[in-house]
Amino acid sequence: MYSDSTPHPEAPLWLEIPEDFAGLDGKLWPCGTRRNTSGELTLAGHRVSDLVAEYGTPLYVFDEQDFRARARGFVEHFPSWSIHYAGKSFLSRTVARWIDEEGLNLDVCSGNELSLALSAGFPAERISLHGNNKTIEELRYALTEGIGAIVVDSFDEIDRLRVIAFDMGKPAPVMIRVTTGIHAETHQYVATSHEDQKFGFSIHSGQAMDALVTCWEQPQFDLLGIHSHIGSQILNMDGYARASQITLLLARDFHCATNNHIREVNFGGGFGVPYLPSDEPWDIENLSDTLIRHAEKGVHYYDLPDIHFALEPGRAISGPPGVALYRVGTIKTVDLGDGLSRRYISVDGGMSDNIRTALYDADYTAILANRVSTADGVLSRVVGIHCETGDVLVKDVYLPADIEVGDILAIPVAGAYSRSMASNYNYALKAAVVAVVPGESQIMIRRETLDDLLRLDMGPHGCERSP
C-alpha cells in the first residue's frame, strides 16, 4: 500500500493519501455534514443510506441551510450591492424560492429559465436575462413580464429589442455586456486588448461605447449600465480588480461622451470553489474587501457619481451545498505494468449526470459514505455506467481497500453544472434532486422515468410490427 512517503507513481502530485477515511474536509462539505457514531455520513442529520433508500441513486442532495447561508453570505458582505444568483449553475423552483427569500436577484440564460422562475413566483423585476442569441420571442416575453434587465450582447439584439420595445410602447431596461480583455482562470488572469469569444461588446474596439451610446440615445431603451464577466471557477481575485478598473474607465468615458451617468455596474460571477482538499478557497470577507475596495477606488479615481454595483455568483452558492450519492456496482483492478495497478470503481451514474470531468477535465474527490473504513488507501478511479472510456467522475482518489459492491460513494461540491447539464446518454434517466434540512427531506426534482423519455418517441410500437 502507498503512503505519503511512497505515493502511487500514477497518482497526481496534488493527491494526498487521507490519514483517516472518517475525516471530512470542512471546506468541501455542506455545513450540516457529519459522520454519525456508526461512521456513516449524514447530511443535515439524514443518513445517506436512508436518503438513497427513499430516493434511489444516483442522487443529488442539497443542504438547504448551507445553500441559504452561502447566498446570504454574499448579501451580507456586499451590503449595498445587488447579488444576482446565476441560475444556469443549478435552478429549480425550490432554488428560485430560496434565492428570493434570501433577498438575491436572479440571472437567467433563456426564456425557459425565466418561465421556470416566474412559475415559482420569483418577481420579474429582480430577474436579468442573459444570452448571446436571444430570440424575438424570448425578448418579447421578458419585456411583457416586466423583467428587471436584459443584458444586451450584440448589435443584432439591439436591433430586435428596439423593434419589440417600440411595438410594446415601453422602454427595455438594458445592461450592456462588455468584454474587458481580462480572462481569469483558476490561478491566474491574462489581459489582452482583444477577445476571441462570442460574448459581449469589446471595449478596446469601441463597440462597447457604441452600444452604450446607441441605447442611451434611443427612447426604446432604458440604459441601466454595464455588465462584465471575466471567466469561471476563479480562485485568484486579481483579475476582478483589473476588470473593475477597465469597466469603470468605460463608465467615465461614457460620462465624458454623453454627460450622462452609468447607474449600475455588474462585475459578473465566476467565483471559484474548492473541489479538492488541496484547493485553496477564498473567503467571503476577503472577496468583499477586495472587490468593494477596488470598486470604490475606481469611483473615486474616475470621479464617478453613485454607481450601484452588482455581482453574479452561481457555483459559489450552488456548488458546495450539493452532494452526489452513487451506489458502487462493479470493482475492477487493472494491471498497469511494473507492478502497478489502478482500481476502477463503477457507480450507477456517470457522464450523463455529471459531465464536468469529461468536458472540462475537472477534478473531484469522493468518499466512502455509508460506513467508515480503517483499511489502507488504494488509488482509485470512479467511473460511470456509460459505454465510453471517458466516462469518469473522479479521476484519482485514494479510497479504502475494502470498498465493496453496494457501498455508497459521496462526491462533494457537486451542486453546480452537473444535474443542470445532465443528458440521457445511453437512455440514462436523470437523477432526482433532494433538499435536506434537519428532520426533513424534500424532493426538488423527481427522478426521470423511462416513460418520460419514451413519450417523445413517435416511432412504431411493437404491436404494429409487420409479421
Tell me which residues in 171-210 interact with a second copy (CB under 8 A).
193-199, 202, 204-205
Pick 2 or 302: Cβ nearer a second copy: 2
Pick 283 or 334: Cβ nearer a second copy: 334
Q: How far apart are CA 366 and CA 380, in angstroms?
A: 10
> Per the structure block, which three cell numbers stand in for 36?
454519525
Please report, as residue ranges, which positions from 362 to 401 form the binding site for a second copy (by CB under 8 A).
Answer: 381, 383-387, 389-391
Q: How far apart are CA 430 and CA 316, in angstroms?
A: 23
> Strand 41-43 to strand 46-47: parallel, antiparallel, or no bridges (unpaired)?
antiparallel
Among 109, 215, 387, 463, the one annotated catalytic: 387
Phi then psi for residue 64, to 5 deg, are -60, -40
Pick 71 or 307: Cβ nearer a second copy: 71
Q: In whole angstroms, how close is the CB of 111 to a second copy at the nearest point?
A: 9
Q: How far apart are CA 59 and CA 414, in angstroms?
A: 11
Q: In whole angstroms, how close is the CB of 152 to a second copy at the nearest point?
A: 11
Size of the site for a second copy (CB under 8 A): 98
Q: How far apart are CA 260 and CA 304, in angstroms?
A: 11
Candidates 165-173, 236-244, 276-284, 458-466: pick the segment binding a second copy (CB under 8 A): 458-466
Please report, as residue ranges, which positions from 221 to 240 form the binding site for a second copy (by CB under 8 A).
Answer: none
> Are 237 and 287 spatial neighbours (Cβ–Cβ below 8 Å)?
yes
Q: In whole angstroms, how close is the CB of 375 to a second copy at the nearest point?
A: 18
Candidates 168-176, 245-253, 294-302, 420-428: pick the segment binding a second copy (CB under 8 A): 420-428
Residues in the chain: 467
Q: In whole angstroms, how close is the CB of 6 to a second copy at the nearest point?
A: 20
Q: What is the CA radius of gyration of the chain?
A: 24
Q: In whole angstroms, how close is the CB of 51 to a second copy at the nearest point?
A: 16
**What is the DSSP secondary-structure string of 297-319?**
HHHHHTT----EEEE--SHHHHS
Q: How far apart are CA 446 and CA 451, in angstroms?
A: 13
Pick 118 or 410: Cβ nearer a second copy: 118
CA distances from 21 to 37, 275, 321, 372 (A): 14, 17, 21, 7
Please report, as residue ranges, which positions from 41 to 100 form the binding site for a second copy (by CB under 8 A).
Answer: 88, 91-97, 100
Comparing C-alpha atoms, which of 465, 337, 437 is closest to residue 45?
437
List 4, 303, 306, 464, residue binding a second copy (CB under 8 A): 464
> Strand 440-445 to strand 172-179: parallel, antiparallel, or no bridges (unpaired)?
unpaired
Binding flag, residue 430, a second copy (CB under 8 A): yes
Q: In whole angstroms, how close is the CB of 312 to a second copy at the nearest point?
A: 11
> Are 1 and 8 spatial neighbours (Cβ–Cβ below 8 Å)?
no
Please report, as residue ranges, which positions from 111 to 150 form the binding site for a second copy (by CB under 8 A).
Answer: 112-113, 115-116, 118-121, 130-135
Pick 130 or 294: Cβ nearer a second copy: 130
> Per the structure block, which three cell numbers stand in for 251?
463608465
> Are 365 and 352 spatial neighbours (Cβ–Cβ below 8 Å)?
no
Please report, as residue ranges, which positions from 324 to 363 form the binding site for a second copy (by CB under 8 A).
Answer: 329-332, 334-337, 342, 344, 346-348, 355, 358-359
Q: How far apart are CA 125 and CA 130, in angstroms?
A: 14
> Are 435 and 56 spatial neighbours (Cβ–Cβ below 8 Å)?
no
Pick 295 or 422: Cβ nearer a second copy: 422
Please report, as residue ranges, which positions from 292 to 331 form the binding site for a second copy (by CB under 8 A).
Answer: 329-331
> Per the structure block, which three cell numbers stand in for 333?
483492478
387 is catalytic: yes
Q: How far apart are CA 76 and CA 5, in angstroms?
A: 44
Q: In whole angstroms, how close is the CB of 231 to a second copy at the nearest point?
A: 8
> Are 152 and 213 spatial neighbours (Cβ–Cβ below 8 Å)?
no
Pick 62 or 398: Cβ nearer a second copy: 62
**What is the DSSP secondary-structure string of 393-407?**
EEEEEEEETT--TT-
Q: How far apart are CA 343 and CA 401, in angstroms?
A: 9
Please report, as residue ranges, which positions from 400 to 419 form the binding site for a second copy (by CB under 8 A).
Answer: 405
Pick 293 or 336: Cβ nearer a second copy: 336
Pick 219 or 462: Cβ nearer a second copy: 462
Phi then psi for residue 133, to 5 deg, are -150, 60
Q: In whole angstroms, how close is the CB of 177 to a second copy at the nearest point?
A: 11
Q: In whole angstroms, how close is the CB of 27 to a second copy at the nearest point?
A: 26
**Catalytic machinery residues:** 387
